[in-house]
A and B are shown apart, each in its own frame.
Chain A
Amino acid sequence: MQGVNASPTTASMPARLLNRSIGKKILMSFSGLVLLGYVVGHLIGNLQIFVGQNALNAYAVFLHSIGAWLWIIRAFLLAMLIIHVWTALRLYFENRAARPIGYKRKVYQEATLSSRTMIWTGIGVFLFVVYHLMHFTLIITNPQYSHLEDALGRHDVYSMVILGFQNYLISAVYIVSIAIVSYHVAHASKSMFQTWGLNDTNFEKILHPATVIFAWLIFLGYVSIPIAVLTGFVKLPEGVI
């Protein structure tokens, strides 16, 4: 007997979100959805590198021109990331505690590898986010090529990205990291529909292939950038270094 809670139905709504299993999953799914929105939005912005130097640099100037809003959005994303990671760790440790003695033999019949490795791909994503911010946003790791200016005196994001990806090691780190993000997204984008109760047997038949395609699009979309730089498809403008 593990005890009885005297008055579960008097628990407040925040308690039902924070301290009950389905509540925690609701937090995971909504914070994850916001991060997913960011992943898609960021991809669309980045793909402007294929339009050219002017487009990408103008996009960067635009982001900075919204001033306070940029910081509000950044703070919101950070808050969602913290909720997501904190809840993920709580779930992980609770789930481990729920089976203190494991099986000698265990065969999975339906659970995908992507679903079973969410915590590890998640931690991978987190480490990548830290590195990525240090590389292109805070400009700590490669300051030598990150303060260039273009002909209009704008921060030359275009050349910074190309010089970054011309380094094989940096490109390899990005490609692997993007694969990890996509693998996380493959299970996540399907799982959230189930968490919201929007799934059923028929919808699953469409949802499953749709989320696999979605994860591939995320992967191919992001990976196209370092690949385009490495293959020389996207080149440095005249006169940079």
Chain B
Amino acid sequence: MNLTLYVWRQKNAGDKGRMDKYEAKDISPDMSFLEMLDVVNEDLEREGKDPIAFDHDCREGICGTCSLNVNGVAHGPEKGTTVCQLHMRNFKDGDKIYIEPWRAKAFPVVKDLIVDRSAFDRIMQAGGFVSVGTGGAPDANAIPISKEAAEDAFDAAACIGCGACVAACKNASAMLFVAAKVSHLANLPQGKVEAKRRVVNMINQMDLEGFGNCTNYYECQAACPKEISVKFIAQMNREYFRSLRYKEK
């Protein structure tokens, strides 16, 4: 099939940027979205033009590197799918496709469709860990954990840190990402010890990075490729409430 692409092109962080039009020809419905862009890029290189820069790594939906806003939706039209796992059979011949980078003050564009997501790393450094000496792998079931807690922790831990929640949110809020990280650890006994300090520090860093606030739109959960639930935002709000009076000793 043949498609018309409108792609955000921006030379570097300082450039103003613009939408450019490209034709994608002879695209197979079995290609992934990124393979379709590879084809377009090969054509561009053959013509001696600068290929479209976009982030990708695993291409199997587990690393969280790919990050494209496709026709106004983060990671494109298919629910619960990263854009690297989105297949061209979701489109039809003659479609117009708008491709834009994640848009947030905290995620500045580096080039074309690539944004700098190190704000997420700094939020993790502020509290997304458990401070214990790590010996060898502990025996399974040495620490009893209820089924519910284990499942909640596991569901939250599915977050791959892609940033689609920020991209989708009208306020560019990072609440779903931070909630996933806070809840993942707060549900487990190993993480409970530092729960109060963790939520205070991570929310503090989230605000410093310039993400927006949560209006409870739930747009994040609709866009999340791992279908992280907004119930974890409720859990984080609870954790924050409990730590309002918390002071470091």
> Footprint of B on A, CB under 8 Å?
1-5, 7-11, 13, 16-17, 19-26, 91, 94-95, 97-112, 115-116, 118, 187, 190-191, 194-201, 204
Contacts and interface: CB of A to CB of B under 8 A. Distances in A.
A228 B124 CA distance: 59
Given A98-B173, A99-B172, A104-B6, A199 B122 contact: no
Given A8-B200, A98-B171, A104-B19, A13 B73 contact: no
Q: What 8 pairs between A and B have smallest CB-CB spacing?
A: A197-B238, A98-B212, A111-B217, A107-B72, A8-B204, A95-B171, A105-B72, A110-B222
A83 to B, nearest CB: 16
Interface in B156-206: 168, 170-173, 175, 197, 200-201, 203-206
Contact of B213 (A13, A25, A198, A204): A25
A98 B211 contact: yes
B234 interface: yes
Contacts of B231: 199-201, 204
B235 A197 contact: yes
Interface stretch (B23-31, B56-64, B101-109): B101-109
A196 B233 CA distance: 10
26 contacts: A2-B208, A2-B210, A4-B122, A4-B205, A9-B248, A19-B207, A20-B204, A21-B206, A21-B207, A21-B214, A91-B215, A94-B212, A94-B213, A95-B213, A100-B105, A105-B69, A108-B219, A110-B217, A110-B218, A110-B219, A110-B222, A116-B170, A196-B237, A196-B241, A197-B239, A204-B231
Nearest to B239: A197
Chain A CB within 10 Å, residue with most, of B106, B215, B237: B215
B246 interface: yes
A194 B73 contact: no
A237 B237 CA distance: 54
Contacts of A195: 216, 237
A21 B175 CA distance: 10
A107 B100 contact: no
Interface string B229-249: 111011111111100111110
A190 B168 CA distance: 21
B230 A194 contact: yes
Contact of A2 (B19, B209, B214, B238): B209
Interface string B69-105: 1011100000000000000000000000010100111
Given A94-B212, A94-B213, A9 B247 contact: yes
Given A9-B201, A21-B206, A111-B218, A99 B237 contact: no
Nearest to B71: A105
B208 A5 contact: yes
A74 B82 CA distance: 53
A160 to B, nearest CB: 39
Given A24-B213, A194-B233, A99 B104 contact: yes
Quick one: which of A91, A98, A190 has the most chain B CB within 10 A?
A98
B7 to A, nearest CB: 11
B67 interface: no
A197 B237 CA distance: 5
Contact of A109 (B19, B73, B200, B239): B73
A15 to B, nearest CB: 10
B212 A95 contact: yes
Contact of B200 (A16, A107, A198, A199): A16
Nearest to A87: B213
Contacts of B236: 22, 197
Nearest to B199: A22
Contact of A9 (B72, B119, B246): B246
